[in-house]
Structures are given as C-alpha cells and as structure tokens.
Homo-oligomer: A and B are copies of this chain.
Amino acid sequence: MSITQQEASFIRGLQADMVQNPVYTGVERAILEQRLPPGMRLAETDLAEFYGVSRTIVRTGLQALAHSHLVTLRPNRGASVANPSPREAREVFEARELLEPRSAREAAMRAGRADVRALRAHAQEEHDAMRDNESGRALRLSGRFHVMIAQIANQRTIAEMIENLVSRSSLIIALYWTRSSTRCDEGCHNALIDALERNDATEAEELMRSHLVELHSALRFDVGDTSNLTLKDMLGDYTMPG
C-alpha cells in the first residue's frame, strides 16, 4: 500500500518537485525540529555547498519555504528562518483553534481501524522520542500528529492549511514557549486517539479544542518586539524548550 511520491506531495499540498529538493526537505525538517532558530540567516551559497546543489535549487527551495512562512525572504537581503511576531503567533493559534476542533470532529466520524492503528504507532514514536530526550524530533512528531488527524478528516484543502499552521507553530514554540515539558501532549494525544477509536465526534472536538487552548496558554508574549534579533538568538541565552 505504498503511495507514489507525487501522491504524497499532493496530500501535503506542495509541488511534486519539492519532495526531492534536499534544501526544502532538509531546512524544513531542521526548522520543525528547532535545530535552526528563528531569525537565523540562510545564505544561498552555504546551503548550496552543504547540500551539493546549485543556487538554483536552493532558491526554489527557499521560495517554497517562504510560502509556508517558515522562511522570510527580503529583497536583496536573502533568506532567514522566520521570526513570527507575537501577533502572528496569536493569530496562528487562533486559526488552529478554529480549524482543528472541527477537523477532529470530522476525523472521529471517519476514523477506521487502520487510521487508529497508524495514530497509535505514531504516538508510540512520539513517546520514544521524548524518552530518548530528542526534544526536536518529539516536537516535529507532535505536530505531525495533528496533521494526521486533519488528513483523516478527509478535507485536503483544510488539512493543508492545518499543516501550514502546525509547521509555523514549531517556530512559535521556539520563541514563546514557557514550560519545560511537553508531557501534556502525550496524555492529550492518547485521549484523542481513544475518542477517535470510539467515533465520538463531540468528545474529539472538545479534546482538540482544550488541547489547543492548553498549548496556546503556555505561550508568553511579553518578551517585547523580537522582530530584529537576527543575531541575538545565537548569543547563548537561548534555551531549547522541552
């Protein structure tokens, strides 16, 4: 039951080329795993050298990432990892709170045995990553869990939006997260899977809503305007959340 690359990219809503663009996949993953901090400069030449491709490929990859708001492109000044403002952070979570509960409801109505199995396997992977202290990987998987639910809901258009919002959440968490642990995820996600398994739409919707409110409430925006700390990030007082 393997699917083609083209189909995979269709599900993810991006150009077929991008799945085999090492810059796109590599930088995206590094951002989602918080190995690249917000504001980090992304020089085309460096990326080209690192991935062993020409600047042409680098540019198409960066442009795609810019469309997902994971990278900021300023004319004549190149690319950096996006640095979402408190406002953008709030908006992203508000949008998630609008879209995802409904998506979870729909997913609960449609979830089949295979879906539940895939979700449980995924939750196990999340658990392992947490246990092994791979907080970056755990965060990426945690986001992917939300995307999986959106996909079960079988609304590609909305699933794509959710995927975009979830990706941006990694950056937002890097900037504004206050707690030291994401342990809450584990319980929430398992409860959600249970609701989906029981096809309990109302419960799934409510669990998702409260889960997102919980996440949102763990963000602190009183760090002032961080729009131009392009270098400050790198100077040491930055701690990985989780």
Contacts and interface: CB of A to CB of B under 8 A. Distances in A.
Interface of A: 14-17, 59-60, 63-64, 66-67, 73-75, 87-88, 91-92, 94-95, 98-99, 102, 155-158, 161, 165
A7 to B, nearest CB: 13
B88 A157 contact: yes
A15 B14 CA distance: 17
A80 B15 CA distance: 13
Contacts of A66: 15
Contact of A16 (B64, B74, B102, B165): B74
A24 to B, nearest CB: 12
A116 to B, nearest CB: 24
A223 B94 CA distance: 38
Contact of A92 (B87, B95, B157): B157
B73 A17 contact: yes
A209 to B, nearest CB: 15
Contacts of A16: 73-75
13 contacts: A15-B63, A15-B67, A16-B73, A16-B75, A17-B73, A60-B63, A64-B67, A67-B67, A94-B155, A95-B155, A95-B158, A95-B161, A157-B165
Contacts of A165: 157
A140 to B, nearest CB: 21
A98 B16 CA distance: 28
A197 to B, nearest CB: 25
Given A63-B64, A67-B67, A102-B98, A15 B91 contact: no
B99 A156 contact: no
Given A63-B60, A63-B64, A67-B64, A156 B102 contact: no
A114 to B, nearest CB: 21
Contacts of A59: 60
Nearest to A159: B91
Contacts of A67: 14-15, 64, 67
A158 B64 CA distance: 19
A158 B164 CA distance: 12
A73 B63 CA distance: 15
